[in-house]
């Protein structure tokens, strides 16, 4: 599994936007995001986009999985959801997102990620 942690100052704007945009890119590539069902990865319409990847829609447990999260470097916004203008921007671009609670990254947490 590959793991990516996006970090910004408060974890209510830039880093959560990056998290949800990257998750969307992963799904659209036919890969999996940790904790999501295989239905996100089984996308027959991707076959036309990637003809060099035969059987993409049949692949399930052999798909590469990505762990993607975001965090802050400060406690200022601890527990707060994504900033409303950031939500509007994600919506405007058709990027799915969910309720988010800002949190500060700990050294032990950061060391769990590849990037």
Please give the pLDDT value at position 35.
Answer: 85
Nearest to 75 by CA among 99, 102, 108, 112: 102
Which residue, among 70, 93, 71, has the nearest Cα to 19 in the 3D structure?
Answer: 70
pTM: 0.78
Among candidates 73, 59, 65, which has minimal Cα distance to 104? 73
Is 4 strand, coil or helix?
strand
Output the tens digit of pLDDT for each of the chain's 115 residues.
899 999 999 999 999 999 999 999 999 998 999 988 655 554 444 444 444 544 444 445 556 899 999 999 999 999 999 999 999 999 999 999 999 999 999 999 889 999 8
| Predicted pLDDT of residue 4 | 96
Q: What is residue 61's predicted lDDT score, i.e. its pLDDT?
A: 54
Domains of the chain plus CATH, in order, are 2-110 (3.40.50.2300)
The confidence score (pLDDT) of residue 57 equals 44
């Amino acid at each position: 599994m590959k793991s990516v942690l996006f970090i910004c100052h408060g974890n209510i704007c830039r880093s959560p936007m990056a998290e949800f945009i990257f998750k969307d890119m992963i799904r659209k590539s036919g890969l999996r995001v940790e904790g999501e069902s295989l239905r996100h990865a089984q996308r027959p319409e991707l076959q036309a986009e990637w003809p060099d990847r035969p059987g993409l829609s049949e692949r399930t447990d052999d798909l590469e999985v990505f762990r993607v999260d975001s965090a802050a470097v400060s406690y200022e916004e601890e527990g707060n959801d994504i900033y409303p203008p950031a939500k509007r921007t994600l919506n405007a671009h058709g990027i799915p997102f969910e309720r988010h609670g800002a949190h500060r990254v700990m050294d032990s947490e950061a060391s769990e990620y590849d990037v």
